[in-house]
Amino acid sequence: MIDGGAMAGDIRIEIKPFDELTLRELHACLKLRGEVFVVGQQICAVADVDELDPSAHHVMLWRGDELFGTARLLRNDQGNTIKVGRVAVTASHRGGGLGTSMMRAIHDWIVQQSGSAVGVMSAQAYLEPWYARLGWVREGTSYLEAGIDHVTMRYTPENSAQASLH
């Protein structure tokens, strides 16, 4: 678990493997993903909850008992690549830096897993500038996923250090 206890307003960030999630935490993550992806973006619910959830670590951004951010982290078989996905923040909490705090906790977790680990993601294309400011670098051309424009992005600690200089 990573705890962002230093954050103001009793906000905390936790990262747990699926088997350590309580039923309430799992429900909160899936409910939030449903609100953001299925209701907000009209993505089919079948595409969101899949067979990968049980093998993932789940990121939870809490204020008190309310979950308002989540993401899913999957490690490849060699352990050197972490796929970041299902990044979601409730509409009412976007734009205030909380998603950035959650992504920084994810970056820290990637580095803790292996000093040479990298992150990869299929990011919604409209969020590319935000991810780029956090050190993610686009690879290749855009493509459609679930009917939404996406780009492949890669994160390394070196990318992050360069991004913080700009």
The CATH number that applies at residue 70 is 3.40.630.30
5 within a domain of the structure (yes/no): no
Say how many domains are in the chain.
Answer: 1
* Residue whose C-alpha is closest to residue 123's, from 107, 142, 108, 101: 142
Predicted TM-score (pTM) of this structure: 0.82
Long-range pairs for 21-25 at CB < 8 Å and ≥24 separation?
21/58, 25/58, 25/60, 25/67
Give the confidence band of 128 by pLDDT, cuts at 50, 70, 90.
very high
* pLDDT exceeds cutoff 60 at 164: no
Q: Which of 39-43, 68-72, 112-116 has the highest mean pLDDT?
A: 68-72
User: Could you report the per-residue pLDDT of 6-29, keeping only the tens digit for each?
Assistant: 345 688 999 999 999 999 999 999
**Backbone conformation region of residue 66, classed left if phi is above 0, alpha if psi is from -120 to 50, else beta:** beta
* pLDDT exceeds cutoff 90 at 155: yes
